[in-house]
Chain A
Amino acid sequence: MSMSDPMSDRSARIANSVMLFIAGMLVITPTFWMVLSSFKQSFEVTAYPPKLFFTPTLENYVTLSERTPFLHYAFNSMVVTVGSTLLGLILGTPAAFVASWTRITWPAIVTLVARMAPGTLFLLPWYLMFRQVDMIGTYGALILTHGVITMPIVIWVLLPFFDNIPRSIYEAAQVDGCAPARVFWKIALPLVSSGLVVSTILAFVFSWNYFLFSLVLSNSDTKTLIAASFNFIGEGSTNWGGLMAAATMIALPPLVLATIVQRWLISGLTLGAVKG
C-alpha cells in the first residue's frame, strides 16, 4: 500500500483526464463529423470552413432508402457477418482450446499473420479459386473469406481466456471421467463464456466493416452494405452526403454491440476455484 499524496493524486487525475480527452477527441471527432455531414446538403458537406450550424435535412437518408436497395444490402451484410462470425467461432474456439491445452501456439500465429497480411494479397488467388468452383457472387464465398477476418480474432481473444483456466481443472475433469472433447464442452467452454461474448462481438464488428473481399467476390445481388456504399463515390463526383448517411447507418450495429461488449469486458472472468 502506498501513501496517498493529495497533490500527486490530483495531478495524476488531471493527466488522466487530459489523455482521456485527447483519445476521446480522436475517436469521436470523425464520428461526429460523419453524423453531422449525413444531415447536410451535398454542397455543405465539402464547404470550408466546415459549418457547425446549418439547416439539417433528411434528404440523404431519403436517397438511401428510396434510390438504393439499402435494406437488401443490409440483409447481405447480416448474412455474411453472422455466417462468418459463426464460422470463426466454430473453427476458432476449439482451435484456441487445443492451442492452449497443448501449448502449441504456432498455428495461432499463422492465423494472425494471415490476418495481418493485406487483404489484397488474397484477392487474386481467391478470385481465381472461387471462379473455378463457380462461387463468385455467392454468400458462401463471402462467408468463407470473411472467416479469415473472424477466426484469428476468435482465436486470439480466447487464447488468454483458456490459458487462464488452471490446468488442474482440466485434469480434475479428466479424472472425473471426461474425455478431452467433453472437457472442452463441459468445463472449458462455460469458463470462457465472457471471452466468447467478447470474441463474437469483435468478430462481428470486424467482419461487418470489412469491404475488400465483398468488392471483388460479390455481385450486385450479394454486395454487402459497406461495399455498396462505395457506389456513392462516382467517377466524376462523389455524393458525400449520401455516403455519410450510409456510413452512419452502417456504423450503428457495431456501435450498439460495442456498448454491450464494454459491459462484458468489465464483468471479467469469474474464476474462483483455486487458491488466492
Chain B
Amino acid sequence: MASITLKKLSKAYGALTVIPDLSLEIRDTEFVVLVGPSGCGKSTLLRVLAGLEPISGGELYIGNDLVNDVQPSKRDIAMVFQDYALYPHMTVRQNMSFALEMRNVPKAEITEQVDRAAALLDITKFLERRPKALSGGQRQRVAMGRAIVRNPRVFLFDEPLSNLDAKLRAQVRAEIKALSDQLKTTMVFVTHDQVEAMTMADRIVVLKDGVIQQVGTPEEVYNQPVNEFVGGFIGSPAMNIFDARVEGGKLLLTDGTILDAPKSLREGQSVRLGIRPEHFVPDLSGVSVPVKLTEPLGSETLVHFDLAGTEAIASVPPDTPARAHGRLSLRVAMNKAHLFDPETGASLRQKTLEAV
C-alpha cells in the first residue's frame, strides 16, 4: 500500500517528447484509471511508474520513496501486462511463485500464498498446467494471480482486458473492481476504453498528448468535462458536438435551428455545443429531425439523425415512435448541455450552468 506522487515528470525518447510535464497525486488504496486515445502517453506513463522506462525529468515517489532511479525489481510493484507475459516454461504455480522465490520467501509461505490467490481467482485446478494449455481468460487470471501473490505496494494494469471477448471483459472488469475493494491496494489501470474507465475507477485521469486533461471521479468527468476533448472522449455513444452562435438571445445552429441560449452568453458569441445522446428528449414541441437509422438496444434505442450537418445520436426510450427515414421531434435538455470555447475547447459551463 502506498501513494504515488508525480512531480513535474517528463519523458522523452530522443527529440520526441511523450510526456512534457505531468504532476499527479494518486492516493493510497485508490483505483486510478489512465485513459486516453492511443498515443496519448498512458502506457508510457505506466511503464515509467513500473521503472521499465527511465524518467527524463521531474520526480516520482512511491510512498515516501523517491524511485526515479530505482530498478523495477526494487520498486515493490506488480504489473499485469496486455499480453499477460506469463513464463511459458513454467507451470501456473511456478509462474505465481516466481516473484516470491526471487524475494527468498520461505517455501511453505509461497505455497500458502499461491493457493490463497488461486482460490480467490478460481484457478486452483489449473495450477499444474503450462500457460500454453490455458484459454485467454484463464491466462488473464494467472497474470492477475501472479500480481496478487506479491502483495505489492502498487498494482499496475496495462490494458489487461483488451484481448478478451466482450462478455469475458465485462465479467473480469467486475472482478477486478471487487478485487480492488478486497485487496485495498493502490491500483493504476491503463485503458483506451472509456467504459472500463467509467466502471472501475475511483478517479479517472484523462490524457491527451501526454498532458492531463482532467482528473476526477467518473461522475465528475462525465458530467463536468473541462473541455471538448474530455466531453467527446468519455461517454458512449460519444457526445454530439455542434457549432452554434448566440443571436437574439437564442442559440443558433448552422442550419438555423434555434435553441434556448444560456443567459450568460454574449450576443454574437460563437460556441461549441455538446449534447450527450441521452439529453435529447422526444418531445412534440421540439425540433423535428430526419431519422437515418435506429438501433434498438432493448433498454434504450439509439436514433441516428442529421442536425445542422452533423450526424448526431440520441438515446431515447424504446417505445419512442422513431423509424428510419421518418422524422422525430426532439427537445434538448439545455440544462445538461455543455458549452465549449471554439478556440481553446475549454468548457464554458462553470459560468453558464446556473444561468440557464
Contact = CB atoms under 8 A, between A and B. Distances in A.
Contacts of A186: 98
A273 B86 contact: yes
The dominant DSSP class at the A interface is helix
B73 A177 contact: yes
B132 interface: yes
Contact of A176 (B130, B133, B146): B146
A272 B132 contact: yes
Interface string B259-271: 0000000000000
A182 interface: yes
Contacts of B51: 174-175
A272 B150 CA distance: 23
A179 interface: yes
B50 A272 contact: no
A275 B132 contact: no
Max chain A Cβ within 10 angstroms of own Cβ: one of B73, B102, B139, B163: B73
Given A171-B81, A272-B131, A176 B88 contact: no
Nearest to B72: A174
Contact of B84 (A176, A271, A274): A274
A215 interface: no
B48 interface: no
Q: How large is the interface on B (under 10, 10 to 19, 20 to 34, 35 or more residues)?
A: 20 to 34
B71 interface: yes
A176 B83 contact: no
Nearest to A270: B88
A275 B146 contact: no
B82 interface: yes
A169 interface: yes
A267 interface: no
A171 B88 contact: no
Interface of B: 50-52, 71-73, 75, 77-79, 81-89, 98-99, 102-103, 130-133, 136, 139, 146, 150, 163
Pairs of residues from A and B, 10 with the lowest C-beta to C-beta distance, nearest first: A272-B132, A177-B102, A168-B85, A273-B86, A176-B99, A172-B85, A273-B88, A273-B131, A174-B72, A274-B83
